[in-house]
Homo-oligomer: A and B are copies of this chain.
Amino acid sequence: MSGPAVSAPDFLAQASTAVEKSMELFMEGRSLPLYRMMGYQLGWVDENGTPREANRPLRVRGALCLLAASAISGRFKDALRHAVAIELVHNYSQMHADVQEGNTERAGRGSVWWVWGPAQAINAGDGMHALARLAMFELSKDGVAPELVSDALQALDLAALDLCEGSYFDTVYQERVTILVDEYLQMTARASGALVGCATRLGAMAAGETGSSRLDALQKFGQKCGISMRLSSDLRAFWDGSDRSGPLQGRILAKKKTLPVIHALEKADVKTKRALGEIYAQRVLDPGDIEKVRGILEAAGSRAYTEQVIAKLNQEASAALADAGIGQPEADRLLEAAQFATRTSG
């Protein structure tokens, strides 16, 4: 979801707008009702299909794809189709995740399954999954060589598969009583890191980069950013006042697993674990419980631990850009964009 009253830096907002326009162009003329559900998910229409202008979400993943391209070649237009494909995969996976996790709300409105039912949300997601690739095929119209189109598609499919592998563990972990911190971090690398890593890799590929070590470094940058975005939203769910009434807090009330809680349940002393366990053993939590949990996590050092993990991820992201030989001001822009995403995305 987009954050509270924080506005994105200009270059990020511009990149996001460029992605948005390309998405609109690509989706234009698709009039079957299946596409209305997709338009709703993308924030373009209400549930009756009436256009809405306000509250377009920031296309963080697509924008990072463009910025990675720009860091290599100085321009981002070659990566627009890649960015569209990335955003479509991201949104397909959100539609399915909302069904899987029973999230009734997305970006301040009813989620697609909540409005149209789970069966249609599965359809809309599956259709958008196919469309993501068809968006990439449009590269052929731009005269891009078939082997480059094929390489880009393959990178996208590998990330889509990683996402599913991550989502498998995410689902398992939500149902398990205890998970280890390492398991959770490995899962987030797939479920949250893979697609952002693919976005920055594709951006570099679109800009003509062919050296595998540089592509790997840019992918690593994106992957670290993606994990950091997830863990930051874990943290903000407890400690970002501005989001407390929103879906982030809903995740806590629904007892979704977050790094601070996982850390405390694994590492804290027996008394702390027991106190936390008693709260989480309730069928549902209420807002008063959150205050208690927050105190426990602070005392157990779990907030500090999560902040350290995020700081380390951000350092690694920065180091990956250095490894890729990305100079200034491009490296700073990529880092600033990622930082902004970390502060605002869930």
Contact = CB atoms under 8 A, between A and B. Distances in A.
A322 interface: no
A230 interface: no
Nearest to A131: B161
Nearest to A154: B137
A11 interface: no
Contact of A100 (B123, B127, B160, B161): B123
Given A127-B165, A129-B129, A122 B96 contact: yes
Nearest to A133: B157
Given A127-B161, A157-B137, A161-B134, A122 B150 contact: no
A172 B158 CA distance: 33
A47 interface: no
Interface in A4-62: 32-34
A153 B150 CA distance: 9
A293 interface: no
A163 B123 CA distance: 9
Contact of A146 (B123, B147, B165, B172): B147
A140 interface: yes
A164 interface: yes
Interface string A103-123: 000000000000001111011
A161 to B, nearest CB: 4
Contacts of A161: 127, 130-131, 134
A167 interface: yes
A129 B126 contact: yes
A99 B113 CA distance: 13
A133 B156 CA distance: 10
A254 interface: no
B164 A126 contact: yes
Contact of A123 (B134, B145, B153, B171): B171
Contacts of A154: 134, 137
Contacts of A125: 126
Interface string A207-233: 000000000000000000000000000
A149 interface: yes
B134 A157 contact: yes
A283 B101 CA distance: 29
17 contacts: A33-B172, A96-B122, A96-B126, A99-B122, A100-B119, A100-B123, A118-B118, A119-B171, A122-B122, A123-B167, A123-B171, A126-B126, A134-B154, A134-B158, A134-B161, A137-B154, A145-B146
Interface of A: 32-34, 93, 96, 99-101, 117-120, 122-127, 129-131, 133-134, 137, 140, 145-147, 149-150, 153-154, 157-158, 160-161, 163-165, 167-168, 171-172
The 3 closest A-B pairs by CB, nearest first: A127-B164, A100-B119, A146-B146
Given A93-B126, A100-B122, A126-B167, 11 more contacts: A96-B122, A96-B126, A99-B118, A99-B119, A101-B119, A124-B164, A124-B168, A126-B126, A126-B164, A130-B157, A134-B154
